[in-house]
Amino acid sequence: MDLVIEEKLTGVVIGKMGLYKLPEIGFILHPAYWGKGYASEALTLMLKVIWDLRPELSHIDADVDPRNWRSLRLLKRFGFVEIGRREKTFETHLGWCDSVDLRLTRPMMK
């Protein structure tokens, strides 16, 4: 499942979010739109869709480069908790990146 994130007024695609290797969620947003609530709004909707469409999932995982403090803060605000750290997990144009592994447990039904 892969969804685009659009700027509401213009319809310009500013990022994407998806459910990748089950049960891992990921997202990327153009730097010009960081800190403006777009990732928070997209994550709210994505979590609702995942929980509604995938009732068999007991949790959702994410892994974040520890230097990406905005994503770490966002995920923790949504209830993700750190479950581990790994070194040199993926390579980008910046070189090798480490990972902070996080997990969100499915909320109890009311």
Write down all domains in the chain, each with its CATH number in brackets.
Answer: 2-105 (3.40.630.30)
Record the tokens describing residue 87, joined without a space.
């070194």
The secondary structure of residue 24, as a DSSP letter, is B
Q: What is the pLDDT of residue 96?
A: 95
Q: What is the pLDDT of residue 21?
A: 84
Q: What is the pLDDT of residue 109?
A: 65
The closest alpha carbon to 79, from 99, 100, 57, 102, belongs to: 102
- The CA–CA distances, whole Å, from 58 to 69, 91, 103 equal 26, 30, 10
pLDDT tens profile 3-53: 899 998 999 999 999 988 889 999 999 999 999 999 999 999 999 999 999
Record the tokens describing residue 54, joined without a space.
């995938």
